[in-house]
Structure 1
Amino acid sequence: MLQCAGCDGVRLLSEPGMAALLRGALRGWERECLRVDPTGELACTPHPRTLGAKGTHPWITTDYAEPLLEFITPPAPDVGETLDFLRNVHRYAARRIGDEWLWAGSMPCRIGRDEDIPIAHYGTTNEARFRQVYREGLGLRYGKAMQTIAGAHYNWSLPAPFWEALYERCPQQPSLRAEVDERYFGLVRNMLRFGWLVLYLFGASPAVGASFVQGRSTRLHALGASTLYGPWATSLRMSRLGYQNRVQDKLVIGCNSLKEYVRTLDAAVRTPDPYYATLGVREGAAWKQLSAHVLQTEAEWYAPIRPKRTDAAGLRPAQALRAHGVQYVEVRLLDIDPFIDIGVHAQQAHFLDTLLLLCLLRASPPISPREYAENDENLHRVAAGGRDPRLHLLLHNREYPMRALAHRLVDDMLPVAEVLDAAHAGQEHRNALAAARACIDDPGSTPSARVLNAVQQAGGHATFALEQARVHTAALQSQPLTPFWQERMDRSVADSLTEDERLHALPQEPFEDYVARYLGG
């Protein structure tokens, strides 16, 4: 199962010096989190100035909505280091949001009408207006409620010395850069095949407040008047109730090569959509969306995993990939764990490190249109009903029991976990696999089952999540920052405000020209 075009992946990792190079792998977290008031309503206050300028702060920003915080860690080679960083950012923020709380979980608090959800405002520069208009377009296309969902993204890459050593031992492409790109895209394809296991193991959103549904018809069950849930659901966030839309259901962004990915993604940004055209791009001087194309920008593509390049200033994401290749991958499958104050934990990282490395080493044939649909169907089946003991998934057009497939995949991961544990002189990766096996054998021990049980005991989603928000925010506020971290965070806030003022003092070209230049590049 680990064959890669004539090379045995585990054998390569076991060669002298190879495993040690894995210690240089980089990972980072992005955690989204709503601000709410003590009654559980969406906060209507602006992004606190005490957290800095959201457009220029490196670690504290907002996502779609003004109250949707996003905490970001820089890449680091140690799992514990990234989580410590994330915890310190949470501690700092929790002290500076007044009497508001950090919402616990992926599905939002009670929300009212779409028009009452405040879009994030970044200022008056062209870049700031571009961000805001993009978000206006998301609200116009999909509704603002969908943009209040929170998730966690895991960013992962392997170090240059590892790639050089791997290419020396098992070259498959004409250049090192082509080798790196092809292997990362092989990883992406395999994660599209196997990402359903991440939803099963770490999905934590089986229930949602009825206000989120806003009258839409669903197959969910009612718990009282205010909560809807899926009896076997793992992640409503990743189900057809969550990050979905009419056009993207039919959109295929090819992942069989970097060239295909860039071509199809760029085409989606440039292809007009008749429905979006009827919505209009502008109404007088007011912009409603950036364009009437299938995607306004590449960021609008809601993929479970993305190849990324972020160190190419001035280039659109597709252009950066075309010019410089893949820098890292962004895994977007993780729900916020409402039982954990920072929403994520180390075992997730150790499991993902093992799965990602397996996906990189494993043979990864091209994905046909039929298989794209099959992979998508498997993801939705697990999101909506992953804990159902009768659940089957599709593999080459045939149905197989989900749990048998899950055990087979974890079996394949074990040799990789052993190599990683040897490299790090520990057993965390094997422990993560043991915990995964336990969850496969006992669906009641999964986070989604535990969340659903807690929601039922609390009498509703909002009651459960609000209490978790109160407890977590208080716990974070009670954890003191060291003088080093206090000074570091204070300086980052001051620097972001200074940089924001500098950017706003620069002359700006007409916004229409800025948009045309960006999208036309």
Structure 2
Amino acid sequence: MHLLEIADQSLPASLAKHLVGIKRGIEKESLRIQPDGYISQQNHPHALGATLTNPHITTDYSEALPEFITGASSDRLQPLAELMEIHQFAYQNLENSELLWAMSMPCVMGEENDIPIARYGHSNSGRMKEIYRMGLGLRYGRFMQTIAGVHYNFSLPESFWQALHQSENSEMPLQDFISQKYMGLIRNYLRFSWLIPLFFGASPALCESFIKDKNIDLEQLVPGTRYGRFATSLRMSDLGYQNNAQSGLSVNYNCLNEYIKGLEDAISTPDPYYQEIGVTRNGDYQQLNANVLQIENEFYSSIRPKRVSVSGERPTKALRNRGIEYIEVRALDLNPFSPIGIDQSQIAFLDSLLLACLFAKSEPINPREKGEYQSNFKTIVSKGRHPDCCLTMNNGCVPVNEVATELMSQIEPYAALLDKVYQTNDHGDVLSKLRTQLSDLDKTYSGRIVKSIEQRQDGFFPYAMEIAQAHKAFFEKEKLNTERLSHYQQEATLSHQKKLDIENSDTKSFEEFLAHYYE
């Protein structure tokens, strides 16, 4: 069983030396909650800056869903160090004894309207962001938008691509070559991305308040708690982002142009249900448009090809004009065993996996294979730790343990290569650790969570609340030094001024601004 067909696992030194230039960045969401565990009703703290313009602290869907963003760095330890600082700064400025929820699945939920939509001010760009979120709430419900996760950004340096382009004697323009290689990586990732929730899924349980009276296939552990005994990531299940609302979307990963076309078609195709909702009500916008997708970001996927956009530029235009710059891995739950939601071992594994996906043969994905990998992903997130869990491989059924063991052996050479490049043992060590978990999946994040809540017998909420309180206590002790505190304070102050400048520089009406954006 050769899952990742890799012609030569010994990378030439002329290529390997460039891996030290890999850039990484992290985006981490987490709900801001009241001391009683309910979602905060307070505005985003002013001291954290303006969410429209602060490069490090913004909000995702809700005013109470802060998102912390690191820069992209070729220092492999820098993103975690920076994420730690952002958390320290945030905790030093949270008000009313609030704290950050440590789980991907949300805290105790009241009613839909108790979830405050994020606000970005009176500028056209700020209004667009807010109206987009209003549309998401109408289309999918606000509850789903409170689910939090970690996004991992990964790119290889230009020098690496130039060397690979030369070694393969490619006649393609360099940027086309880069985009083609990244799309190949993405296809292989999609085939085997279930490895991520298998090991790092950390949302096997939730508060019953999240599902209200829905009839779902989850056991009641105690009143108030539903869980999947063998689940790994309810966040990535039909309950979360991988819901059926976008099941009719046809987005193709076989080449960049097809991917772009699929998204552009969805953004320009009216949806009868969304037309019925209406774009405006009593003259006020309630969604950006009535099309299948309002904008590209509405498309939920566990990985995205990305290119940094200039102001007002649509992501698909940036990709079409300048090609893929980096990829964004979106399958990570918040890691509740780290106060910042992710740790170095996860990054080491992701880097090893992504390199293996890059160098493996990557044929186009046909409809049968697409159905297969989507089914496998659903299987893992819902019952991946079940002793009899099997995956579909080439129309056959293979035990998860067998497939994962084979994959780990094919990833191993890249872990060893990265260890050599960075003069560390991190990558090999995490593979060894994960291998042992394959024979005892109760040692995975989801396994540990299920074991803990079963032993406690008081449910998911008290368990999750204790972790959030422990993280708060950690940051109350680990405060930023004066120099770094001043740095983030200055950024926050500057962001408020930038927001005002944007609001004062608008010359178009919102309708003109929106029409120009979709040109």
TM-score, normalised via structure 2 length: 0.97
Q: In the TM superposition, what is the alpha-carbon distance from 1:9 to its structure 2 partner? A: 4.6
Q: Say if 2:129 is the partner of 1:142.
A: no
Q: For residue 303 of structure 1, what is the amino acid of its counterpart?
A: S
Secondary structure in structure 1 of the residue aligned to 2:319: helix
Q: For residue 417 of structure 2, what is the amino acid of its counterpart?
A: V
323, 328, 335: which is aligned to 2:326?
328
Matches of residues 258-337 of structure 1 in structure 2 within 5 Å? 258-337=256-335
Deviations 1:127-154 (A, max 9, x none): 0110011000000000000000000000
Match of 2:432 in 1: 434
Q: For residue 430 of structure 1, what is the amino acid of its counterpart?
A: G
Q: For residue 264 of structure 1, what is the amino acid of its counterpart?
A: G
Q: In the TM superposition, what is the alpha-carbon distance from 1:173 to its structure 2 partner? A: 5.2
CA contact 2:124–2:506 (8 Å) conserved in 1:
no
Matches of residues 212-291 of structure 1 in structure 2 within 5 Å? 212-291=210-289
CA contact 1:309–1:320 (8 Å) conserved in 2:
yes
Structure 1's unaligned 5+ residue stretches are none
Match of 1:466 in 2: 465
Question: RMSD across aligned C-alpha pairs, in angstroms?
Answer: 1.4
Match of 2:417 in 1: 419
Match of 2:14 in 1: 17
Deviations 1:136-177 (A, max 9, x none): 000000000000000000000000000111111114452211
CA contact 1:307–1:326 (8 Å) conserved in 2:
yes
73, 76, 79: which is aligned to 2:76?
79
Residues 234/171 of structure 1: CA separation in 2 closer, same or farther (3 Å cut): farther
Secondary structure in structure 2 of the residue aligned to 1:371: helix
Deviations 1:275-332 (A, max 9, x none): 1111111112211111111111000010010000114443201111000000000000
172, 175, 192: which is aligned to 2:173?
175
Alignment partners' CA distance in 2, 1:67 and 1:497: 19
Q: In the TM superposition, what is the alpha-carbon distance from 1:200 to its structure 2 partner? A: 0.2
Q: Say if 2:103 is the partner of 1:110.
A: no
Deviations 1:52-90 (A, max 9, x none): 001100000100011001001001112321101000100
Secondary structure in structure 1 of the residue aligned to 2:404: helix
Alignment partners' CA distance in 2, 1:462 and 1:97: 21
Secondary structure in structure 2 of the residue aligned to 1:296: coil
Alignment partners' CA distance in 1, 2:464 and 2:3: 41
Residues 470/508 of structure 1: CA separation in 2 closer, same or farther (3 Å cut): farther
CA contact 1:153–1:334 (8 Å) conserved in 2:
yes
Deviations 1:231-266 (A, max 9, x none): 100000001111144441121210000110111111
Match of 1:166 in 2: 164
TM-score, normalised via structure 1 length: 0.97
CA contact 2:205–2:228 (8 Å) conserved in 1:
yes
Alignment partners' CA distance in 1, 2:473 and 2:127: 35
Alignment partners' CA distance in 2, 1:367 and 1:186: 10
CA contact 1:126–1:508 (8 Å) conserved in 2:
no
Q: Say if 2:123 is the partner of 1:132.
A: no
Alignment partners' CA distance in 2, 1:17 and 1:313: 37
Q: For residue 515 of structure 1, what is the amino acid of its counterpart?
A: L
Alignment partners' CA distance in 1, 2:506 and 2:156: 40
Q: For residue 422 of structure 1, what is the amino acid of its counterpart?
A: K
Matches of residues 83-98 of structure 1 in structure 2 within 5 Å? 83-98=80-95
Secondary structure in structure 1 of the residue aligned to 2:289: coil
Match of 1:377 in 2: 375
133, 143, 154: which is aligned to 1:156?
154
Matches of residues 381-392 of structure 1 in structure 2 within 5 Å? 381-392=379-390
Alignment partners' CA distance in 2, 1:455 and 1:438: 23
Deviations 1:384-441 (A, max 9, x none): 0010111111112221111100001000001111111111111111111111111111
Alignment partners' CA distance in 1, 2:117 and 2:46: 17
Q: In the TM superposition, what is the alpha-carbon distance from 1:483 to its structure 2 partner? A: 2.9
Deviations 1:348-402 (A, max 9, x none): 0000000000001100100112222211111111000010111111112221111
Q: In the TM superposition, what is the alpha-carbon distance from 1:95 to its structure 2 partner? A: 1.1
187, 191, 194: which is aligned to 1:193?
191
Match of 1:518 in 2: 517
Secondary structure in structure 2 of the residue aligned to 1:349: helix
Residues 87/493 of structure 1: CA separation in 2 closer, same or farther (3 Å cut): same
Alignment partners' CA distance in 2, 1:436 and 1:411: 12
Higher mean C-alpha deviation, range 272-281 or range 84-93: 272-281
Q: In the TM superposition, what is the alpha-carbon distance from 1:3 to its structure 2 partner? A: 8.2
Deviations 1:37-58 (A, max 9, x none): 1110110000000100011000
Alignment partners' CA distance in 2, 1:142 and 1:65: 14
Secondary structure in structure 1 of the residue aligned to 2:30: strand
Q: How many residues align?
A: 516
CA contact 2:47–2:489 (8 Å) conserved in 1:
no
Match of 1:501 in 2: 500
Q: In the TM superposition, what is the alpha-carbon distance from 1:10 to its structure 2 partner? A: 2.6
Match of 1:34 in 2: 31
Alignment partners' CA distance in 2, 1:189 and 1:507: 41
Match of 1:366 in 2: 364
Q: For residue 418 of structure 1, what is the amino acid of its counterpart?
A: A
CA contact 2:3–2:406 (8 Å) conserved in 1:
no
Secondary structure in structure 1 of the residue aligned to 2:247: helix
Residues 299/2 of structure 1: CA separation in 2 closer, same or farther (3 Å cut): same
CA contact 2:238–2:244 (8 Å) conserved in 1:
no
Secondary structure in structure 1 of the residue aligned to 2:94: coil
Q: For residue 494 of structure 2, what is the amino acid of its counterpart?
A: D
CA contact 1:2–1:8 (8 Å) conserved in 2:
no
Higher mean C-alpha deviation, range 113-122 or range 455-464: 455-464
Residues 173/256 of structure 1: CA separation in 2 closer, same or farther (3 Å cut): farther
Secondary structure in structure 2 of the residue aligned to 1:123: coil
CA contact 1:31–1:71 (8 Å) conserved in 2:
yes
CA contact 1:407–1:437 (8 Å) conserved in 2:
yes
Secondary structure in structure 2 of the residue aligned to 1:250: coil
Secondary structure in structure 2 of the residue aligned to 1:415: helix
Structure 2's unaligned 5+ residue stretches are none
Higher mean C-alpha deviation, range 506-515 or range 61-70: 506-515
Q: Say if 2:60 is the partner of 1:63.
A: yes
Residues 59/9 of structure 1: CA separation in 2 closer, same or farther (3 Å cut): farther
Match of 1:408 in 2: 406
Q: For residue 283 of structure 2, what is the amino acid of its counterpart?
A: A
CA contact 2:237–2:243 (8 Å) conserved in 1:
no
Q: Say if 2:1 is the partner of 1:43.
A: no
Alignment partners' CA distance in 2, 1:366 and 1:102: 42
Q: In the TM superposition, what is the alpha-carbon distance from 1:454 to its structure 2 partner? A: 2.1
Q: For residue 404 of structure 2, what is the amino acid of its counterpart?
A: A
Secondary structure in structure 2 of the residue aligned to 1:390: coil
Match of 2:340 in 1: 342
Alignment partners' CA distance in 2, 1:276 and 1:246: 16
Alignment partners' CA distance in 2, 1:126 and 1:297: 15
Alignment partners' CA distance in 2, 1:272 and 1:371: 29
